[in-house]
Amino acid sequence: MNIIVCIKQVPDTQDIRINPETNTLMREGVQSIVNPFDMYAIEEALRIKEKLGGKVTIISMGPEQATEALREAVSMGADEIVLMTDRAFAGADTWVTSYTLAKGIEKLGKYDLIICGKQAIDGDTAQVGPGIAAQLDIPQVTYVKKTEEIKEGSARFERMTEEGYEIIETPLPCLITVVKEINIPRLPSLKGKIRAKQAPVVKLTAKDINAEADKLGLKGSPTVVDKIFAPQKRTGGQILQGETQEVVNKLVDAVKDIIIASGKT
C-alpha cells in the first residue's frame, strides 16, 4: 500500500486575533500547528499501513516553515515527507492548490490511496481534497468516518452524511477525506521525534512538477477576494423570566414581532 497524505500547516485557532484595520488574520506570534483534520488523515494512513504494510508519504504545499508540520507527521510514524515550496506557488486559491498538489503527487509516482482531512480550519473550504481527486481523475469519497475494507484494487468506506452514513465501494487508487469520528490520532513517540529531527525532506519546486506556469499561484487563481470582514459579535440574547405561562406568552409575542418585522406574514 502506497499511501499519500496531504497536510496543511495552519495557525492555532485557540489563539486567534483579527487585525481590525485590514480584517486579516494576525499571524505574528501565533503558533502554527498541523491542521487538526489532517491529524486524523495521518493516523488513518498509519493504521492502514500497520495492517497491510507499505509506505506513508506526507506532502504539503507551503513556505519552508511547513517542514515543522511534516516532521511532526514523521514523529508519529510517517515514512517520507515532501515539501512543495516555491515563490510561484504563493497566493494559490483552492483550484490552484489542488492542481499544484496533484502535479506533485503525479511526480511522486505510483500510489494506491490519498488521504486528506475533510477541510483546513483556516479556510474551511473543504475543496482541496475533492479538487486533487478531480485533477488526478480518480474516484473520491468525502467525509469518511470508517475504513471498512481495503483489498487488492478496491476499498470500502463508510461516509458520513447529515442523516446517517453511506457505504461506498470504490476502485483504487482513490482519494478520501476524513472526519474526526474516524479515529483518535496517536501522540508522537520519543524515537519518532528523534527520527523526525533528522528526516530528509524531499523538496519540489514549480520546475520539478512540469506545471504550466500560468496555472500556478495568485496568477493562476480564478478566485478574487472582494472584501474581508469580521462578522459582528453576537450579543447575548434576551432572557425571559417569570411563571411558565407568562414566559410562553412573552415568547410567542416576541416571535410574532420578529415575523411581522421581517414582512413575511
Please, what is the minimum distance in Å from the beta carbon of residue 181 to other proteins?
Answer: 19
Cβ distance to other proteins smaller for residue 52 or 194: 194
Cβ distance to other proteins smaller for residue 151 or 197: 197
Please, what is the minimum distance in Å from the beta carbon of residue 234 to other proteins?
Answer: 24
Please, what is the minimum distance in Å from the beta carbon of residue 193 to other proteins?
Answer: 5
CA 234 remoteness from chain centre: 27
Cβ distance to other proteins smaller for residue 190 or 239: 190
What is the spatial distance between Cα 173 and Cα 167, in angstroms, rounded to a whole number? 17
Please, what is the minimum distance in Å from the beta carbon of residue 14 to other proteins?
Answer: 13
Cβ distance to other proteins smaller for residue 190 or 261: 190
Of the candidates 122, 83, 121, 113, the residue with the CA atom closest to the CA atom of residue 100: 83
Cβ distance to other proteins smaller for residue 130 or 192: 192
**Packing angle of the helix pair 67-76, 190-198 (nearest 10 deg):** 140
Of the candidates 64, 57, 36, 177, the residue with the CA atom closest to the CA atom of residue 120: 36
Cβ distance to other proteins smaller for residue 72 or 112: 72
Please, what is the minimum distance in Å from the beta carbon of residue 187 to other proteins?
Answer: 6
**C-alpha cell of residue 237:** 440574547
**C-alpha cell of residue 140:** 473520491
Whether 166 and 145 have beta carbons less than 8 Å apart is answered as no
Q: E strands along the chain, which residues?
A: 2-6, 9-11, 32-34, 55-61, 80-84, 113-117, 140-151, 154-160, 165-171, 174-178, 201-204
Please, what is the minimum distance in Å from the beta carbon of residue 190 to other proteins?
Answer: 4
Please, what is the minimum distance in Å from the beta carbon of residue 203 to other proteins?
Answer: 24
What is the spatial distance between Cα 193 and Cα 172, in angstroms, rounded to a whole number? 32
Cβ distance to other proteins smaller for residue 129 or 192: 192
Number of helices followed by number of strands (H, E) in the chain:
7, 11
What is the spatial distance between Cα 209 and Cα 81, in angstroms, rounded to a whole number? 16
- Return residues touching other proteins (CB under 8 A): 186-194, 197
